[in-house]
């Protein structure tokens, strides 16, 4: 008897606290649900222009967004004539780690078109993309370092920009690595430190069991779809002028221009 009554009281208390809990939780939710707030991309009556998303306050800079070193971020300085000017300068010292990072990023993002040595005959070009620039020709060798940064940031002719894939510091690392590549492709035995053995490319190919063609001059296969028109003076729409004078890219004379391009 007694035990039964006690049990009943317990049950009432338990039910009561359950109800209180429910009210408490529901109360919480009500508050959060209905409190005034702005929802991104939705209008509001609160501001005079009815926009929920607020523009940045004029003349203020958000934390972490102060880009004081404008050469580092843009790759250009204001020239004497008022126009932007590229510079043959790195904005920070180049260490071996910087070059290694640049090599890694170059091999990921640039080789599909420019190839690992930067001669502009990457796999995509072999399959019909506009021949990418040969980074070892006279034009490209003469360009100031920050030109490469600028090209990666904004794209160039048929080349898309790589600003989303490469942070500014990575773009500079790649630019520095391009200089190293240029040195490597034009180096003579005199440039190699004393005591370091220089191997013949043919011997390397034999050692590594690579096909004999590995050590021979590199040219686009004749099966590559040529983006150059037969008459190089006619550019294709949306394409920067071709470089017919570029000696490294061989244009098969007999190849007809693709018919589909009008």
Q: Which residues bind ligand HEC (CB under 6 A)?
A: 109-110, 112-114, 124, 129-130, 132-133, 140, 148, 151-152, 156-159, 162, 174, 239-240
Which residue do the tokens 């001669």 mark? 119
- Shortest Å, Cβ 177 to ligand HEC: 9
Residue with smaller CB distance to ligand HEC, 201 or 219 = 219
Q: Sign of the CA dihedral 129, 87, 141, 257?
A: positive
Residue with smaller CB distance to ligand HEC, 75 or 162 = 162
Residue with smaller CB distance to ligand HEC, 18 or 258 = 258
- Shortest Å, Cβ 159 to ligand HEC: 3
- Shortest Å, Cβ 151 to ligand HEC: 4
- With left for phi above 0 and alpha for psi between -120 and 50, is residue 82 left, alpha or beta? left
The two tokens of residue 196 are 């370091």
Cα–Cα distances (Å) from 37 to 29, 52, 89, 97, 151, in that order, read 15, 9, 49, 48, 43
Which residue of this chain has its Cβ atom nearest to ligand HEC in the complex?
A: 157
b/e per residue 189-212 (b: at least 16 CB within 10 A): eeeeeeeeeeeeeeeebeeeeeee
- Shortest Å, Cβ 189 to ligand HEC: 28
Q: How far apart are CA 149 and CA 75, in angstroms?
A: 6
- Shortest Å, Cβ 205 to ligand HEC: 27
Q: How far apart are CA 113 and CA 110, in angstroms?
A: 6
Residue with smaller CB distance to ligand HEC, 73 or 129 = 129
Task: Please name the helix (run of DSSP H) or strand (run of DSSP E) that holds residue 84, with its range, or none.
Answer: strand 84-86
Residue with smaller CB distance to ligand HEC, 44 or 143 = 143
- Shortest Å, Cβ 113 to ligand HEC: 3
Residue with smaller CB distance to ligand HEC, 180 or 215 = 180
Q: How far apart are CA 236 and CA 242, in angstroms?
A: 9
CB 116 within 8 A of CB 178: no
Residue with smaller CB distance to ligand HEC, 16 or 128 = 128
Q: What share of the chain is helix, strand, coil (3-state, %, to 5)?
A: 40, 5, 55
- Shortest Å, Cβ 207 to ligand HEC: 30
């Amino acid at each position: 008897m007694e035990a039964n009554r006690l049990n009943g009281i317990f049950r009432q208390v338990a039910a009561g606290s359950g109800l209180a809990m429910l009210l408490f939780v529901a109360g919480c939710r009500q508050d959060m649900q209905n409190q005034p707030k702005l929802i991104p991309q939705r209008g509001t009556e609160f501001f005079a222009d009815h926009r929920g998303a607020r523009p940045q306050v004029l003349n203020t800079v958000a934390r972490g967004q102060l880009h004081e070193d404008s050469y580092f971020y843009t790759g250009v300085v204001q020239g004497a004539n008022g126009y932007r000017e590229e510079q043959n300068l790195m904005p920070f010292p180049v260490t071996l780690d910087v070059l290694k990072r640049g090599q890694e990023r170059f091999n990921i993002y640039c080789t599909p078109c420019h190839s690992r040595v930067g001669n502009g005959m990457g796999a995509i070009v072999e399959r019909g993309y506009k021949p990418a620039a040969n980074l070892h020709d006279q034009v490209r060798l003469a360009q100031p370092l920050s030109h490469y940064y600028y090209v990666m940031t904004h794209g160039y002719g048929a080349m898309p920009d790589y600003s989303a894939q490469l942070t500014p510091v990575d773009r500079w690392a790649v630019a520095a690595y391009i200089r190293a590549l240029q040195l490597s492709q034009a180096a003579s035995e005199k440039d190699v430190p004393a005591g370091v053995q220089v191997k013949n490319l043919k011997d390397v190919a034999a050692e590594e069991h690579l096909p004999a063609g590995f050590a021979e001059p590199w040219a686009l296969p004749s099966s590559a779809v040529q983006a150059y028109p037969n008459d190089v003076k006619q550019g294709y729409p949306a394409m920067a002028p071709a470089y017919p004078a570029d000696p490294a890219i061989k244009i098969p004379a007999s190849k007809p221009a693709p018919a589909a391009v009008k």
